[in-house]
């Protein structure tokens, strides 16, 4: 039996290796006990691979909070005037905004936990209204959420998280890039200056 190299000692076992262990148990485990052990191992793999509910990763900082408010909060603002179908389709934006902007987990602070609880209740009201086709109820709950969280659209033309901008979202600030680009600032968003009379028309 060869000795393991240093890098192999730190390397986590792969899926194939773990499955091999599960299905090649020692000879002392035979019959029903071996079958149950193998079933338990396979069950553990299935559980580990199961999908989980959408949420932000919980690593809250000012930067991640600002990003959640700009990206997902802006979508919540637009949902306040959207149809019930659109609200249902983009409900993950509401979840990601709440979990990304408010630290409500075990290490969260009291204020964030209280606001998160309020917003989750409003989310439920909004989705209940949307699923029943009650646009007024759904939009009303979202407008209340926007008021509590003080949300505004921040992913517009000059926002730091505009998905059309040809850069890594958020850094450096848009205004710094625009100031450096001068008259060529339009190139941050498009190939041509839409304000120019001679700009090629998009097809």
Provide DSSP, 105-141: STT--HHHHHHHHHHHHHHHHHHHHHHTT-HHHHHHH
Identify the residue with better confidence: 160 or 197: 160
Closest CA to 80 of 21, 14, 135: 135
Query: How far apart are the C-alpha atoms of 142 and 61, rounded to whole Å?
Result: 25
Distances (CA, A) of 152 to 7, 30, 81, 148: 50, 64, 13, 11
> Would you call 17 helix, strand, or coil by DSSP?
helix
Identify the residue with better confidence: 163 or 6: 163
Residue 200 has a pLDDT of 44
Per-residue pLDDT reduced to its tens digit, 46-88: 555 555 455 554 557 888 898 899 999 999 999 999 999 999 9
| The dihedral sign for the CA sequence 132, 134, 137, 142 | positive
How many C-beta atoms surround the C-beta of residue 188 within 10 A? Answer: 16
Query: How far apart are the C-alpha atoms of 7 and 141, rounded to whole Å?
Result: 54
Residue 153 has a pLDDT of 92
**Residues of the chain above pLDDT 70, percent:** 61
Burial label for 19, CB within 10 Å (0-12, 13-18, 19+), is middle
In this model, does residue 24 exceed pLDDT 90?
A: no
In this model, does residue 120 exceed pLDDT 60?
A: yes
Q: Return the top range by mean pLDDT from 22-31, 35-44, 174-183, 191-200.
A: 174-183
Residue 69 has a pLDDT of 93
Query: How far apart are the C-alpha atoms of 127 and 14, rounded to whole Å?
Result: 41
Query: How far apart are the C-alpha atoms of 112 and 47, rounded to whole Å?
Result: 31
Residue 15 has a pLDDT of 53
In this model, does residue 5 exceed pLDDT 50?
A: yes
What pTM was estimated for this model as a whole?
0.57
In this model, does residue 170 exceed pLDDT 80?
A: no
In this model, does residue 12 exceed pLDDT 90?
A: no
């Amino acid at each position: 039996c060869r000795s393991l190299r240093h890098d192999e000692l730190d390397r986590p076992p792969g899926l194939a290796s773990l499955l091999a262990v599960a299905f090649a148990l020692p000879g002392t485990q035979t019959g029903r006990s071996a079958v149950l052990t193998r079933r338990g191992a396979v069950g553990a793999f299935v559980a580990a691979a199961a999908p989980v509910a959408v949420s932000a990763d919980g690593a809250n900082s000012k930067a991640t909070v600002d990003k959640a408010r700009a990206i997902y909060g802006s979508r919540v603002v637009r949902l306040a005037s959207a149809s019930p179908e659109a609200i249902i389709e983009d409900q993950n934006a509401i979840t990601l905004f709440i979990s990304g902007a408010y630290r409500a987990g075990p290490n969260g602070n009291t204020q964030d936990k209280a606001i998160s609880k309020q917003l989750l209740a409003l989310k439920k009201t909004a989705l209940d209204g949307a699923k029943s086709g009650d646009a007024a109820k759904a939009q009303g709950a979202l407008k209340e959420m926007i008021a509590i969280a003080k949300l505004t659209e921040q992913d517009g033309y000059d926002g730091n998280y505009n998905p059309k901008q040809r850069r890594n979202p958020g850094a450096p600030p848009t205004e710094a890039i625009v100031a450096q680009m001068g008259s060529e600032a339009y190139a941050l968003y498009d190939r041509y200056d839409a304000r120019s009379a001679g700009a090629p028309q998009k097809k």
